[in-house]
């Protein structure tokens, strides 16, 4: 794997009046060129916090990225970059699409201007060239009549079109990594399908690596190469999409897979619902974060943090059930077969 991003022991804390919220607690992962990695988990599990930390979008002093965190882009230490290098990193090397296309575009600028901004800044194009390129980008993301729509304001476009503009803007400087933070959550299914098809197409065309932040397992099954499941600021399981869907080992992953009704399930059957809420991230956590909600919880789960067990070259899980002395349990798959 040609590695483009390496993250080790990433820790992000929010300093609030109530205390230090440790939102990301030691996340490590690698990303290969042209690969799609999905982050999945409930709200507040640290998906977005991790994604934004990669670009150092968090501002001190209220948000702190701990000093022993390592983020390396192409072998270069992002944590040590100066302001100037950071600015060229953002947009040029790594760019981001945000969740809500309604609020993340500037309402007072035409979409053309917003795309041109990055092009002029990062690629040193003059105004006319940038405009030409902006029109090309809009054509690439399949905006109808790009020559005309380049002068539209965001409010004149629909939600799906705005998200396309966001994608055009993010890809304008041909970054090698695209971070897509819930790119389709605010969209209808048919538009979602269009946007995902578009991303897939552009990915093969430009060989961009994508970090996809989402809570929609359906989108992941369609789109991602690898998945990491996050809970309470930690990665609890990681693997290829196939491994996560067909051979998941962590009870939390089972719960996630289980709470979506499959189109084949019996109607009005009781859906599996995870009880309780994720732990308060202000409090220290020195045992398995999922223990309180886990139906397989054992004594040791409440005492010690499980180590990450390697099941295959790509598949790793942090759960005491994988310990050689742990009892065999009936998994989600065994139950589903019944």
Partner 1 sequence: MGEYLVEAKNLCKYFQVDRKRTLKAVDHVDIAIRRGETLGLVGESGCGKTTCGRTLLHLYDATSGEIYFDGKEISRLRGKELLEFKHQAQIVFQDPYSSLDPRMTISEIIAEGMDVHLKLSPKEKNERINELLLAVGLTDQFANRFAHELSGGQRQRVGIARALAVDPSFIVCDEPISALDVSIQAQIVNLLIRLQRERGLTYLFISHDLSMVKHISDRVGVMYLGSMVELASSEAIFSAPKHPYTQALISAIPVADFDGEESRKKERLEGEVPSPIDPPPGCRFAPRCRYATDICHKEMPKLEEVERGHLVACHHCLNNHS
- 259 lines the binding site for partner 1 (CB under 8 A): yes
What is the spatial distance between Cα 253 and Cα 256, in angstroms, rounded to a whole number? 5
On whether the CB atoms of residues 23 and 49 are closer than 8 A, the answer is yes
Task: Give which of 100, 90, 105, 112 is closest to 173, Cα–Cα.
Answer: 90
Which letter does DSSP use for residue 313 in this model? S
Find the shortest distance in angstroms from Cβ 212 to partner 1. Answer: 12
* Number of residues that make up the chain: 338
CB 237 within 8 A of CB 77: no
Residue whose token pair is 């999945």: 40
Choice from 88, 103, 127, 218 touching partner 1 (CB under 8 A): 218
Answer for which of 49, 55, 168, 255 binds partner 1 (CB under 8 A) is: 255
3-class SS at 270?
Answer: coil
Q: What is the residue whose two structure tokens read 């989600």?
A: 332
Residue 189 CA to its chain's centroid (Å): 19
Residue 277 C-beta: closest distance to partner 1, Å:
7
Which residues, numbered 61-120, are part of the site for partner 1 (CB under 8 A)? none
Binding mask 25-54 for partner 1 (x = CB under 8 A): -----------------xx-----------
Q: How many residues bind partner 1 (CB under 8 A)?
A: 47
Cβ-based nearer residue to partner 1, 242 or 287: 242
Binding string to partner 1 for residues 182 to 211, with x set by CB under 8 A, is what?
Answer: ------xxxxxxx-xx--------------
∠ Cα 267 272 276 (to 5°): 145
Among 221, 282, 285, 311, binds partner 1 (CB under 8 A): 221
Degrees to nearest 5, angle at CA 304 with 299 and 307? 115
Nearer to partner 1, 123 or 142 (CB): 142
Distances (CA, A) of 260 to 20, 254, 257, 306: 33, 11, 6, 27
**Using the rule CB under 8 A, which residue among 67, 273, 284, 334 binds partner 1?**
273
How many CB atoms sit inside 10 A of residue 45's CB?
Answer: 26
Q: Does 270 bind partner 1 (CB under 8 A)?
A: yes
Q: Among residues 2 and 266, whose Cβ is nearest to partner 1? A: 266
204 or 269: CB nearest partner 1: 269
Q: What angle do CA 20, 25, 31 make, to 5 degrees?
A: 140
Q: Which lies closer to partner 1 via its Cβ, residue 66 or residue 242? A: 242
Contact region with partner 1 (CB under 8 A), list: 48-56, 62-70, 120-128, 212-220: 212-220
Nearer to partner 1, 29 or 272 (CB): 272
Residue 94 or residue 212: which is nearer to partner 1 going by CB?
A: 212
Residues 6+ apart with CB under 8 A from 10: 24, 26, 27, 28, 50, 53, 65, 69, 70, 71
Q: Is 163 near partner 1 (CB under 8 A)? A: no
DSSP single-letter state for residue 129? H
Q: Running DSSP on this structure, what letter comes out for residue 91?
A: I
Q: Considering only residues 223 through 252, tell me which ones interact with partner 1, judged by CB under 8 A.
A: 241-242, 244-246
Q: 274, 281, 294, 319: which one contacts partner 1 (CB under 8 A)?
A: 274
Instruction: Please answer whether residues 37 and 4 qualify as being in contact, where contact means their C-beta atoms are separated by less than 8 angstroms.
Output: no
Among 59, 75, 262, 337, binds partner 1 (CB under 8 A): 262
Which residues contact partner 1 by CB under 8 A?
42-43, 144, 158-161, 188-194, 196-197, 215-222, 241-242, 244-246, 255-257, 259-263, 265, 267-274, 277
């Amino acid at each position: 794997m040609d590695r483009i991003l390496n993250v080790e022991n990433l820790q992000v804390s929010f300093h609030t009046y109530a205390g230090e919220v440790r939102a990301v607690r030691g996340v490590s992962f690698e990303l290969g060129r042209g690969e799609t990695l999905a982050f999945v988990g409930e709200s507040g599990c640290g998906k977005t916090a991790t994604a934004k930390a990669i670009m150092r979008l968090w501002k001190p002093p209220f948000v702190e990225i701990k000093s022993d965190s390592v983020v390396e882009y192409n072998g270069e230490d992002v944590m040590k970059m100066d302001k100037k290098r950071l600015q060229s990193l953002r947009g040029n090397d790594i760019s981001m699409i945000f969740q809500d296309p309604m609020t993340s575009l500037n309402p007072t600028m035409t979409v053309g201007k917003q795309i041109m901004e990055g092009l002029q800044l990062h690629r040193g194009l003059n105004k006319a060239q940038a405009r030409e390129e902006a029109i090309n980008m809009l054509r690439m993301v399949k905006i109808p009549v790009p020559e005309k729509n380049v002068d539209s304001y965001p409010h004149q476009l629909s939600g799906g079109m705005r998200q396309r503009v966001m994608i055009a803007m993010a890809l304008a400087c041909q970054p090698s990594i695209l971070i897509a933070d819930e790119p389709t959550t605010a969209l209808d299914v048919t538009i979602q399908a269009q946007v995902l098809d578009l991303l897939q197409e552009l990915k093969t065309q430009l060989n961009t690596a994508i970090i996809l932040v989402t809570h929609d397992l359906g989108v992941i099954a369609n789109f991602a190469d690898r998945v990491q499941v996050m809970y309470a600021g930690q990665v609890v399981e990681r693997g290829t999409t196939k491994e996560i869907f067909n051979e998941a080992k962590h009870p939390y992953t089972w719960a996630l897979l289980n709470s979506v009704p499959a189109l084949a399930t019996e109607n009005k059957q009781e859906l599996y619902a995870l009880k309780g809420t994720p732990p308060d991230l202000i409090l220290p956590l020195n045992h398995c974060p999922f223990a309180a909600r886990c139906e397989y919880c054992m004594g040791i789960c409440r005492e010690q943090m499980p180590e990450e067990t390697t099941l295959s070259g790509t598949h790793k899980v942090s759960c005491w059930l994988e310990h050689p002395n742990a009892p065999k349990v009936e998994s989600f798959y065994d139950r589903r077969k019944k």
